[in-house]
Amino acid sequence: MKKVFLLLLIGIYSTGLFAQGYEVGDIATDFRLLNVDGNYVSMADYEDAKGIVLIFSCNHCPYVVAYEDRMIELHNTYAPKGFPVVAVNPNDSIAEPRDSYTKMIERAEEKNFPFDYLVDADQLIYPEYGATRTPHVYLLKKEGDQFRVAYIGAIDDNYRDASAVEEHFLANAIDALLAGEHPDPDYTRAIGCTIKVQD
């Protein structure tokens, strides 16, 4: 019996180590964050959405820049189907001045972002989700007034060349949800920029 208890403890401890933030299947918390248009936005504001394509993003990271056009395209394809992109910048603007709110507004205007671009100014949301890098995608499926995590990971399998992509992980995951299925894979990884915090 003692052994079982010990094993259980080890189990809890080791899952604790790896389960910082959400896993697929968890209910995601809503937030209220400042958008580049000056308004505060919550997921609950997307009343007609079937879900949210939440992407932790920023201005400065070359991997994000490589994906910006694809993020715009994803939004234009899937927002009308009920899955708008919502980008959230988790970086501290002192640690990374290129990711300041002012610079976010500039970037959103330059690229004419069709999606909301929010700032996690208090850096409270990204740790709750468990985001570690930009870009880092959390595909959320709306269930009543809750949002359940359906997919975590990368946008696709080739950051460098959109035309050479073999697997469109995120698009496939959204298509699966639209078809009433569970995404497969529901977890992928990609190289990205560390989220910047002050020392």
Partner 1 sequence: MKYIGTIIIMLAVFAGLNFFPVYASPVSAEDKEIEVMDFDTFSPRLEMDNDSVYVINFWATWCAPCVRELPAFEQLNETYSDRKVKVILVSLDNPDLIDDRVIPFMERMDLQSEVLLLDDPNSNRWIPLVSEEWSGAIPATVIYSAGHRSFHEREFEFDELEEIVLPLIQ
Which positions lie near partner 1, rule CB under 8 A?
A: 18, 61-62, 96, 132-133, 136, 153-154, 157-161, 164, 166-167, 169, 188-196
Rounded to a whole number of angstroms, the minimum distance from the CB of residue 58 to partner 1 is: 12
Shortest Cβ 65–partner 1 spacing (Å): 10
Round to the nearest angstrom and report the end-to-end CA distance of the chain.
45
Chain CA centroid to CA 116, Å: 13
To the nearest whole angstrom, how small is the minimum distance from the Cβ of residue 179 to partner 1? Answer: 22
The candidate with the shortest Cα–Cα distance to 155, out of 54, 59, 79, 82, is 54
Nearest distance from residue 129's CB to partner 1, in Å? 12
For residues 37 and 167, which CB has a smaller minimum distance to partner 1 in the complex? 167
Residue 34 beta carbon to partner 1: minimum distance, rounded to whole angstroms: 24
Which helix or strand (DSSP H or E) is residue 172 part of?
Answer: helix 169-178
Residue 90 CA to residue 134 CA, distance in Å, equals 9
Q: How many CB atoms sit inside 10 A of residue 111's CB?
A: 15
> Given the complex with partner 1, which of 153 and 183 has the nearer CB atom?
153
Nearer to partner 1, 43 or 154 (CB): 154
Q: Provide DSSP, 32-78.
A: -EEETTS-EE-GGG-TT-SEEEEEE--SS-HHHHHHHHHHHHHHHHH
Q: Compare residues 32 and 189 and give the one whose CB is closer to partner 1.
A: 189
Nearest CB to partner 1, comparing residues 50 and 103: 103
Which CB sits closer to partner 1, 3 or 160? 160
Helices (H), 44-168: 62-78, 101-111, 125-129
Q: Give me the least distance between CB of 195 and partner 1, in Å please.
A: 7
Q: Which of 17, 12, 44, 14 is nearest to 28 (CA)?
A: 44
Amino acid at 168: H
